Chains A and B, each alone.
Chain A
Amino acid sequence: MKLKADRIKSYWRVWLRLTLQQFQTQISNARGAALLFIFGKLFRLATAFLLIYLIVGRAKLIAGYELPQAIFILALFNLNSSITQLFMRGIYVFRQKIVDGTFDFYLLNPLSELFYSLFSYTDPMDLLLFIPYLGITIWAGIGTGFAFTLPLIILIIITLILAEIMIISWHIVMMGIGIRYLEVDNTIMLYRDLEKMAAFPINMYGRLGSIFLTYIFPFALMATIPANLVFGLFNPWSLLGFAVLAILELKLALRFWHNSLLTYSSASS
């Protein structure tokens, strides 16, 4: 037990050190760039809200949801997506690490190569954005007029954790593909395109689309399901099924990762 705690502590210390280094790099190289990024992300969010406002404000309903509910779903999606972006940024440079041989150093490290590949590029600017995003989500949640009780908040957090487990699984699969076929960049962008579908109520995509975006990809868990919990449209016990699914996806993803590692030839080093 103590060994496990020590190991977690090591991961935490390394992650903190890597994040601090990222922050120092940004401060020394690109202060203006960081501001442009923050402005760009806020502008993008504002335009998404505007789209919802223009459509649902006039149409009154979208897939059975009213304007404040649709806004809450978008805000929840944005918050959840930013958490993913915040912690799993490493995937965007993973292909380069394979191509230039840096991945060899990850393999030689005492900590997991997966940890380095996925979590070593945390962007502190995203950390800063998390606060306004959380504020916007709380504001949108209050705007729906539904009551937020403590058990409900705990259920939402559980849902988001399950979503993150499934998201991590998919990121592991994409990195496995990267090792096998040297292709990550377009795969992750395709995943991100699909992920954007979660910004709107999932039932909008029809029966087949909903199944696909709920049970295969974790996108319903990112926004529609936690929002439905608030609106009283989702049975919390169903989360148990999603917990099983999340663990299964993670196990399969890890197996795929380990099999992919066997094909790694370290050709670039």
Chain B
Amino acid sequence: MKKYISIFSITLQEYFTYRLNMLMWRIRQIFVFLIPFFIWRAVLGGGGDLYGYDFAAIMTYLFGTTILRSLVMGSRTVDLGWMINSGYLTIPLMRPLGIFRFLLTRDLADKLFNLSFILLEVPLIFLIFKPPVFLQSNPSAILLFVISLLLAALMYFFINIIFGSIGFWSRDVWAPRFLLMVILEFATGAMFPLDMLPTIWQNIMLMTPFPYLLYVPLKIYLASDPNLYLHLGIQLVWTIILFLFTRFIWQKGILRYEAEGR
């Protein structure tokens, strides 16, 4: 356990090495909120609703996705493809560490780092934009939301390992990752709530794992998901499928690893 605490601490220290870099990154997290805020303010700021969302509801959704994105999609495992291609993966492989536990520890450090900054940034966003947001007070909704959030974080961890593992077969890990990022931006519901799409498209999307990263956890938080338990069940099934697939891909990939570059 001690060695994982050390990895956790080193990962956090790495962030503070290039302070300007870190500052810019955090400022970016605030700016992510800007465009959707102004778009929706231009459309709904004067009152009324769109697809059942009034300004307060859409702001809560967008505010929620901004926070959730930092927690769920804040990850160091995105480096995995580079680690494989540069041979850096050899270092953790040679140490007495479980590789998945090593990667997960770094991810947790990243999430703690994000969480601590969110606590500073959220009041700042509130102060500047004064978004009308809804605070959930129902304990069961909060509990289910936390479960969904944990599953989402695990799902994203596995997705990152799967995409990073492409590095075992190809030197080009950036292009698939770029495509994944583009798909995630849309299919997780980060751009807009997916229930604004026609029902058939919503149903198709809900069959993929992506909406379970942001959209479903947020709907659970807002207590506005009519199929809450079904979606939680699907999320659990996707987590298991992604875990099994991650293990399979890793076992196949690691056999091809040649520690090139080391």
Interface positions of A (Cβ within 8 A of B): 29-30, 32-34, 36-37, 39-41, 43-44, 47, 51, 54-56, 58-59, 62-63, 181-183, 185-187, 189-190, 193-194, 196-197, 199-200, 204-206, 209
Q: A29-B172, A32-B172, A47-B185 are in contact. Are A186 and B42 (CB under 8 A)?
A: no
Contact of B24 among A39, A62, A187, A199 (CB under 8 A): A187
Question: Known contacts A47-B191, A51-B192, A55-B43; is A193 also within 8 Å of B31 by CB?
Answer: yes
Task: Kindly list chain A residues whose C-beta atoms are within 8 Å of the C-beta of B41.
Answer: 204
Bound CA span A245–B215, Å: 44
A204 with B38: CB separation less than 8 A: yes
The B contact surface, by secondary structure, is helix
Q: Could you say which residues of chain B place their CB within 8 Å of the CB of A40?
A: 175, 178-179, 181-182
Judge if B123 is at the interface, Cβ distance under 8 Å: no
A residues in contact with B24, CB < 8 Å: 183, 186-187, 189-190
Contact at B34–A197, with CB atoms within 8 Å? yes
Complexed CA–CA distance, A29 and B171 (Å): 8
Query: Is B28 interfacial (CB 8 A cutoff)?
Result: yes
**Which chain B positions have C-beta within 8 A of A54?**
51, 192, 196-197
Partner of B39, one of A43, A58, A189, A204: A204
Task: Determine whether B140 belongs to the interface, using a CB cutoff of 8 Å to chain A.
Answer: no
Residue in contact with B27 in the complex, picked from A36, A39, A55, A190, CB distance below 8 Å: A190
Interface pair A59/B50, CB less than 8 Å apart: yes
Instruction: Give the docked Cα–Cα distance between A200 and B179 (Å).
Output: 24
Cβ contacts under 8 Å, B182 to chain A: 40-41, 43-44, 47
Contacts of B51 in A (CB 8 A): 54, 58
Least CB distance from A115 to B in Å reads: 25
Kindly report which residue of chain A lies nearest to residue B173, judged by CB atoms. A33
List which B166-211 residues lie within 8 A (CB) of chain A: 170-172, 174-176, 178-179, 181-183, 185-186, 191-192, 196-197
The 9 residue pairs across chains A and B that have the minimum distance between CB atoms: A186-B24, A33-B175, A33-B172, A36-B175, A40-B179, A47-B186, A183-B20, A30-B172, A193-B31
Alpha-carbon gap, A183 to B28, bound state (A): 14
B39 and A200 form a contact (CB under 8 A): yes
